[in-house]
Protein backbone atom coordinates (compact mmCIF):
# COMPACT_ATOMS: atom_id res chain seq x y z
CA UNK A 1 0.00 0.00 0.00
CA UNK A 2 2.93 2.34 0.57
CA UNK A 3 6.20 3.05 -1.17
CA UNK A 4 9.31 4.96 -0.18
CA UNK A 5 12.20 6.03 -2.32
CA UNK A 6 15.64 5.55 -0.83
CA UNK A 7 17.17 8.35 1.17
CA UNK A 8 19.65 9.85 -1.28
CA UNK A 9 22.91 11.74 -0.95
CA UNK A 10 24.88 13.43 -3.72
CA UNK A 11 28.66 13.44 -3.39
CA UNK A 12 30.53 16.22 -5.21
CA UNK A 13 34.30 15.72 -5.18
CA UNK A 14 37.25 15.19 -7.49
CA UNK A 15 38.84 12.84 -4.95
CA UNK A 16 37.92 9.17 -5.59
CA UNK A 17 39.26 8.10 -2.18
CA UNK A 18 37.03 10.61 -0.41
CA UNK A 19 34.05 9.56 -2.51
CA UNK A 20 34.59 5.94 -1.55
CA UNK A 21 35.05 6.70 2.16
CA UNK A 22 31.82 8.68 2.43
CA UNK A 23 29.91 6.27 0.21
CA UNK A 24 30.85 3.26 2.35
CA UNK A 25 29.77 4.91 5.61
CA UNK A 26 26.55 6.38 4.21
CA UNK A 27 25.51 3.13 2.54
CA UNK A 28 25.97 1.37 5.86
CA UNK A 29 23.16 3.67 7.09
CA UNK A 30 20.90 2.75 4.16
CA UNK A 31 21.62 5.90 2.14
CA UNK A 32 21.66 5.69 -1.65
CA UNK A 33 24.85 7.56 -2.62
CA UNK A 34 25.22 9.13 -6.04
CA UNK A 35 27.84 11.29 -7.71
CA UNK A 36 27.80 13.71 -10.61
CA UNK A 37 30.28 15.65 -12.72
CA UNK A 38 30.81 19.05 -11.09
CA UNK A 39 29.51 20.96 -14.11
CA UNK A 40 26.25 18.98 -14.01
CA UNK A 41 25.50 19.41 -10.29
CA UNK A 42 23.37 22.60 -10.46
CA UNK A 43 21.09 21.05 -13.08
CA UNK A 44 20.97 17.80 -11.09
CA UNK A 45 19.84 19.69 -7.99
CA UNK A 46 17.19 21.51 -10.01
CA UNK A 47 15.53 18.25 -11.09
CA UNK A 48 16.25 15.66 -8.40
CA UNK A 49 15.48 15.39 -4.67
CA UNK A 50 18.34 14.70 -2.26
CA UNK A 51 18.29 14.50 1.51
CA UNK A 52 22.01 15.35 1.74
CA UNK A 53 24.79 16.79 -0.40
CA UNK A 54 28.51 16.41 0.28
CA UNK A 55 30.72 19.11 -1.27
CA UNK A 56 34.50 18.83 -1.23
CA UNK A 57 35.67 22.44 -0.86
CA UNK A 58 39.29 21.28 -1.10
CA UNK A 59 39.01 19.96 -4.67
CA UNK A 60 35.92 21.70 -6.11
CA UNK A 61 36.19 25.41 -6.91
CA UNK A 62 32.58 25.94 -8.09
CA UNK A 63 31.07 25.57 -4.61
CA UNK A 64 29.08 28.82 -4.49
CA UNK A 65 26.80 28.08 -7.49
CA UNK A 66 26.28 24.54 -6.20
CA UNK A 67 25.15 25.66 -2.74
CA UNK A 68 23.15 28.58 -4.17
CA UNK A 69 21.25 26.20 -6.44
CA UNK A 70 20.70 23.81 -3.53
CA UNK A 71 19.25 26.44 -1.18
CA UNK A 72 17.18 27.93 -4.01
CA UNK A 73 15.57 24.61 -4.89
CA UNK A 74 12.10 24.11 -3.34
CA UNK A 75 12.73 20.37 -2.88
CA UNK A 76 16.38 20.56 -1.76
CA UNK A 77 16.61 23.77 0.26
CA UNK A 78 16.45 21.88 3.56
CA UNK A 79 18.89 19.14 2.56
CA UNK A 80 21.74 18.36 4.96
CA UNK A 81 25.00 19.84 3.65
CA UNK A 82 28.23 18.01 4.44
CA UNK A 83 31.49 19.75 3.57
CA UNK A 84 35.12 18.75 3.47
CA UNK A 85 37.07 21.98 4.01
CA UNK A 86 40.61 21.99 5.31
CA UNK A 87 41.92 25.15 6.93
CA UNK A 88 40.26 28.09 8.65
CA UNK A 89 39.34 30.04 5.51
CA UNK A 90 37.74 27.11 3.71
CA UNK A 91 35.84 26.09 6.84
CA UNK A 92 34.55 29.63 7.25
CA UNK A 93 33.50 29.68 3.59
CA UNK A 94 31.71 26.32 3.92
CA UNK A 95 29.73 27.47 6.95
CA UNK A 96 28.88 30.78 5.25
CA UNK A 97 27.29 28.80 2.40
CA UNK A 98 25.13 26.81 4.81
CA UNK A 99 27.13 23.67 5.61
CA UNK A 100 25.69 21.70 8.52
CA UNK A 101 28.79 19.56 9.13
CA UNK A 102 32.40 20.27 8.15
CA UNK A 103 35.25 17.75 8.02
CA UNK A 104 38.95 18.41 7.58
CA UNK A 105 41.66 16.34 5.97
CA UNK A 106 43.11 13.99 6.99
CA UNK A 107 39.77 12.32 7.69
CA UNK A 108 39.49 10.24 10.85
CA UNK A 109 37.23 7.28 10.17
CA UNK A 110 35.79 7.07 13.71
CA UNK A 111 34.94 10.76 13.73
CA UNK A 112 33.48 10.39 10.26
CA UNK A 113 31.22 7.56 11.37
CA UNK A 114 30.03 9.41 14.50
CA UNK A 115 29.23 12.59 12.61
CA UNK A 116 27.54 10.84 9.71
CA UNK A 117 25.40 8.89 12.19
CA UNK A 118 24.06 12.23 13.46
CA UNK A 119 23.73 13.53 9.90
CA UNK A 120 21.71 10.47 8.91
CA UNK A 121 19.19 11.26 11.64
CA UNK A 122 18.68 14.65 9.99
CA UNK A 123 18.41 13.01 6.56
CA UNK A 124 15.66 10.72 7.83
CA UNK A 125 13.87 13.75 9.24
CA UNK A 126 14.14 15.50 5.88
CA UNK A 127 12.87 12.39 4.06
CA UNK A 128 10.01 12.05 6.53
CA UNK A 129 8.99 15.66 5.87
CA UNK A 130 8.71 15.02 2.12
CA UNK A 131 7.34 11.47 2.41
CA UNK A 132 4.52 10.65 -0.02
CA UNK A 133 2.51 7.57 0.88
CA UNK A 134 1.29 5.74 -2.21
CA UNK A 135 -2.24 4.74 -1.28
CA UNK A 136 -5.58 4.33 -3.06
CA UNK A 137 -8.40 5.90 -1.03
CA UNK A 138 -11.81 7.20 -2.10
CA UNK A 139 -12.03 10.98 -1.72
CA UNK A 140 -14.83 13.47 -2.32
CA UNK A 141 -14.03 16.85 -3.82
CA UNK A 142 -16.53 19.70 -3.52
CA UNK A 143 -16.37 22.71 -5.80
CA UNK A 144 -17.50 26.22 -4.85
CA UNK A 145 -20.62 25.59 -6.95
CA UNK A 146 -21.56 22.69 -4.67
CA UNK A 147 -20.72 20.04 -7.27
CA UNK A 148 -19.32 16.86 -5.73
CA UNK A 149 -16.64 14.84 -7.54
CA UNK A 150 -15.86 11.29 -6.48
CA UNK A 151 -12.25 10.33 -7.12
CA UNK A 152 -9.31 8.37 -5.67
CA UNK A 153 -5.95 9.26 -4.20
CA UNK A 154 -2.69 8.13 -5.80
CA UNK A 155 -0.55 9.39 -2.94
CA UNK A 156 -0.86 11.52 0.18
CA UNK A 157 1.72 13.73 1.89
CA UNK A 158 1.78 16.40 4.58
CA UNK A 159 1.36 19.13 1.99
CA UNK A 160 -1.22 17.60 -0.35
CA UNK A 161 -2.18 14.68 -2.55
CA UNK A 162 -2.33 13.43 -6.10
CA UNK A 163 -5.70 12.13 -7.29
CA UNK A 164 -7.30 10.43 -10.25
CA UNK A 165 -10.49 12.22 -11.23
CA UNK A 166 -13.16 11.72 -13.93
CA UNK A 167 -13.27 15.46 -14.73
CA UNK A 168 -10.74 18.15 -15.52
CA UNK A 169 -9.75 20.41 -12.64
CA UNK A 170 -8.75 24.03 -13.13
CA UNK A 171 -5.34 25.20 -11.98
CA UNK A 172 -5.70 27.37 -8.83
CA UNK A 173 -9.27 26.13 -8.31
CA UNK A 174 -10.26 25.84 -4.66
CA UNK A 175 -11.81 22.54 -3.51
CA UNK A 176 -13.04 21.17 -0.20
CA UNK A 177 -12.01 17.54 0.28
CA UNK A 178 -13.10 14.73 2.57
CA UNK A 179 -11.65 11.23 2.89
CA UNK A 180 -10.95 8.58 5.49
CA UNK A 181 -7.53 7.15 6.29
CA UNK A 182 -7.13 3.37 6.63
CA UNK A 183 -7.03 3.78 10.43
CA UNK A 184 -10.54 5.29 10.34
CA UNK A 185 -9.53 8.92 10.82
CA UNK A 186 -11.58 11.37 8.77
CA UNK A 187 -9.73 14.16 7.00
CA UNK A 188 -11.46 17.34 5.83
CA UNK A 189 -9.51 20.22 4.35
CA UNK A 190 -9.48 23.05 1.85
CA UNK A 191 -7.16 22.53 -1.12
CA UNK A 192 -5.97 24.28 -4.25
CA UNK A 193 -5.35 22.56 -7.58
CA UNK A 194 -1.64 22.97 -8.43
CA UNK A 195 -1.49 20.77 -11.54
CA UNK A 196 -3.75 18.78 -13.88
CA UNK A 197 -2.35 16.58 -16.66
CA UNK A 198 -5.63 16.72 -18.68
CA UNK A 199 -5.72 12.92 -18.58
CA UNK A 200 -7.47 12.31 -15.28
CA UNK A 201 -4.65 13.06 -12.81
CA UNK A 202 -4.35 16.15 -10.64
CA UNK A 203 -2.31 17.50 -7.75
CA UNK A 204 -3.91 19.24 -4.76
CA UNK A 205 -2.15 21.37 -2.15
CA UNK A 206 -3.61 21.63 1.36
CA UNK A 207 -4.48 25.23 2.28
CA UNK A 208 -6.66 25.54 5.36
CA UNK A 209 -6.27 22.75 7.87
CA UNK A 210 -7.13 22.57 11.56
CA UNK A 211 -4.42 21.56 14.03
CA UNK A 212 -6.48 18.44 14.82
CA UNK A 213 -6.62 17.44 11.16
CA UNK A 214 -2.89 18.10 10.79
CA UNK A 215 -2.15 15.94 13.82
CA UNK A 216 -4.26 13.04 12.52
CA UNK A 217 -2.67 13.15 9.07
CA UNK A 218 0.90 13.58 10.37
CA UNK A 219 0.48 10.73 12.86
CA UNK A 220 -0.74 8.37 10.17
CA UNK A 221 2.04 9.34 7.75
CA UNK A 222 4.63 8.90 10.50
CA UNK A 223 3.32 5.40 11.18
CA UNK A 224 3.57 4.49 7.49
CA UNK A 225 7.07 5.94 7.27
CA UNK A 226 8.17 4.02 10.38
CA UNK A 227 6.73 0.76 9.01
CA UNK A 228 8.86 1.08 5.89
CA UNK A 229 12.00 1.49 8.02
CA UNK A 230 11.49 -1.52 10.27
User: Is residue 91 scored above 60 in pLDDT?
Assistant: yes
Contacts of 74 (CB under 8 A, 6+ apart): none
pLDDT of the residue at 130: 65
Question: How confident is the model over 126-143, as a mean pLDDT?
Answer: 83
| Least confident piece of the model among 53-57, 86-90, 129-133 | 129-133
User: Is residue 230 scored above 60 in pLDDT?
Assistant: no
Cα 87 to chain centroid, rounded: 32
Cα 186 to chain centroid, rounded: 26
HSE toward the beta carbon, residue 130, CA cutoff 13 A = 20
pTM score of the predicted model? 0.58
Question: How confident is the model over 171-197, as a mean pLDDT?
Answer: 91
Nearest to 99 by CA among 80, 117, 115: 80
Domains (range + CATH), the chain = 7-129 (3.40.50.2300), 133-228 (2.40.10.220)
Cα 129 from Cα 12, distance rounded (Å): 24
CB-based contact 97:127 (threshold 8 Å): no
Name the pLDDT band for 148 (thresholds 50, 70, 90).
very high
User: Is residue 40 scored above 70 in pLDDT?
Assistant: yes
Name the pLDDT band for 1 (thresholds 50, 70, 90).
very low
pLDDT of the residue at 106: 92
Name the pLDDT band for 131 (thresholds 50, 70, 90).
confident
User: What's the chain's length in residues?
Assistant: 230
State percent of the chain over pLDDT 70.
90
pLDDT of the residue at 226: 67
Summarised one tens digit per residue, pLDDT across range 102-121 is 999 998 888 888 888 777 76
User: Is residue 84 scored above 80 in pLDDT?
Assistant: yes
Residue 185 phi, psi dihedral angles, 5° rounding: -70, 135
User: Is residue 68 scored above 50 in pLDDT?
Assistant: yes
Residue 204 phi, psi dihedral angles, 5° rounding: -120, 135
State percent of the chain over pLDDT 90.
43
Nearest to 203 by CA among 143, 166, 156, 149: 156
CA dihedral in degrees (56, 129, 120, 20; nearest 10)?
-40
CB-based contact 177:191 (threshold 8 Å): yes
pLDDT of the residue at 124: 67
SS3 string, 169-223, reads CCCCCEEEEEEECCCCCEEEEEEEEEEECCCCEEEEEEEECCHHHHHHHHHHHHH
Amino acid sequence: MTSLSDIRALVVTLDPVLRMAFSDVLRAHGVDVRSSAVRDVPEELSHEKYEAVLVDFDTVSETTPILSTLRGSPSNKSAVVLAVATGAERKKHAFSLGANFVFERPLKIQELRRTLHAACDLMHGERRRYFRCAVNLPVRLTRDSGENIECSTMNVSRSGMAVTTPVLLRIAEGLDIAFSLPDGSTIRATTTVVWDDKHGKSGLHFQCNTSEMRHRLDSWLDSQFATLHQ
